[in-house]
């Protein structure tokens, strides 16, 4: 039987260190599903594992794409499942690690199928967003898929403020002539592995303290310079993320540097809270405090496998 040892939890909780420990113990390789770490131009602000960490275990899907590529969760699912099929030919174990809940779900449960959308539809939706803002996307989704709009409003209202997600919903509705929600919850592809899901958590204040410290360390490591180099491309989808947006506002003259850094900390804390809300819905997860001895987690996995 093949096992995919999956490590989930909020940002800055210690997932990377644990994944390397488990990869070395089980003599297997790591699949990263942190959607921010795919892009080779973004290193410091996405907390990519250090060179020592990357060489201490074989990693896949880290800095393997460019911010100029259009890379979707569907693309990741296809490529990652193909890589897992390859790894499982010679090993009974692999590690999946990351904080992007949607990408974790795509690997564990399969991703809903959506037809290809004509580029002209995508461009039209994008242009309307540029002209009329997020209100256009919200009104359009409410018109074309009122049930899904209501569901988002009640269960995940921050999604209504996410232009990338909202543009995707609207372009599917327009491009297919069907509600976006009609493509959800289809029969998923079967998987040839059994997941063992490990969750890392911490007291909220401890988690927030770790996040604040990480941001300070990122700034010391050169995040400001990294963001400055990316600033000419600030409108790319890949760069619409915490840690870069706030510094782009500093370069635009809207924020002071001190305020931008505090906004990074605040928005990262909010992001971590959303991550935990998502991951707490993940079934069959065994949760551990982030300070738990790694051997205790290994013992749990061995017990589960046997």
Q: Is 15 annotated as a binding residue?
A: yes
Through-space distance between the first and last CA atoms of the chain, rounded to whole angstroms: 11
Q: Is 9 annotated as a binding residue?
A: yes
Q: Is 14 annotated as a binding residue?
A: yes
The DSSP call for residue 39 is: B
What whole-number distance in Å separates Cα of residue 162 and Cα of residue 243? 16
Q: Is 11 annotated as a binding residue?
A: yes
Taking each helix axis from N to C end, the angle separating 73-87 and 101-109, rounded to the nearest 10 degrees, works out to: 50
Q: Give the Å distances, CA to CA, from 301 to 83, 148, 217, 298.
A: 22, 38, 33, 5
Q: Give the Å distances, CA to CA, from 8 to 37, 153, 266.
A: 15, 26, 21
Cβ–Cβ < 8 Å for 74, 114: yes
Contacts of residue 78, Cβ cutoff 8 Å, sequence gap at least 6: none
Contacts of residue 33, Cβ cutoff 8 Å, sequence gap at least 6: 61, 76, 80, 96, 97, 98, 100, 103, 104, 106, 107
Tell me the H-state helices in 88-235.
Answer: 101-109, 119-132, 134-144, 146-155, 163-176, 204-221, 223-230
Q: Is 243 annotated as a binding residue?
A: no
Contacts of residue 182, Cβ cutoff 8 Å, sequence gap at least 6: none
Q: Which of 81, 40, 78, 32 is nearest to 58 (CA)?
A: 32
Listing DSSP states for 193-234 in one string gives SEEEEEEEE--HHHHHHHHHHHHHHHHHHTHHHHHHHHGGGT
Q: 3-class SS at 289? A: strand
Known binding positions for ATP: 9-16
Known binding positions for substrate: 11-16
Known binding positions: 9-16
């Amino acid at each position: 039987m093949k096992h995919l040892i999956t490590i989930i939890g909020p940002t800055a909780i210690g997932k990377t260190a644990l994944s390397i420990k488990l990869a070395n113990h089980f003599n297997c390789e790591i699949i990263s599903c942190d959607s921010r770490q795919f892009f080779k131009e973004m290193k410091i602000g996405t907390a990519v594992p250090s060179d020592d960490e990357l060489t201490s275990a074989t990693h896949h899907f880290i800095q393997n794409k460019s911010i100029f590529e259009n890379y979707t969760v569907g693309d990741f699912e296809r490529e990652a499942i193909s890589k897992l099929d390859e790894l499982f030919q010679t090993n009974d174990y692999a590690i999946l690690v990351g904080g992007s809940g949607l990408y974790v779900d795509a690997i564990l449960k399969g991703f809903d199928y959506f037809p290809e959308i004509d580029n002209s539809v995508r461009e039209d939706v994008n242009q309307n967003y540029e002209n009329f803002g997020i209100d256009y996307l919200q009104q359009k989704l409410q018109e074309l898929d009122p049930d899904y709009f209501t569901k988002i409003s009640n269960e995940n209202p921050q999604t209504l403020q996410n232009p990338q997600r909202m543009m995707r919903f609207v372009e599917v509705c327009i491009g297919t002539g069907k509600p976006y929600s009609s493509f959800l919850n289809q029969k998923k592809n079967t998987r040839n592995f059994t997941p063992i899901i490990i969750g890392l958590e911490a007291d909220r204040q401890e988690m927030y303290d770790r996040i604040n410290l990480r941001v300070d360390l990122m700034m010391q490591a050169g995040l400001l310079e990294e963001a400055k180099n990316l600033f000419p491309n600030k409108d790319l989808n890949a760069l619409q993320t915490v840690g870069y947006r706030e510094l782009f506002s500093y370069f635009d003259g809207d924020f002071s540097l001190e305020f931008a850094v505090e906004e990074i900390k605040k928005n990262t804390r909010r992001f971590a809270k959303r991550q935990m809300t998502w991951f707490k819905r993940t079934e069959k997860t065994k949760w551990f405090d982030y300070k738990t001895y790694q051997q205790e987690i290994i013992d749990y996995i061995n017990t589960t496998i046997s």
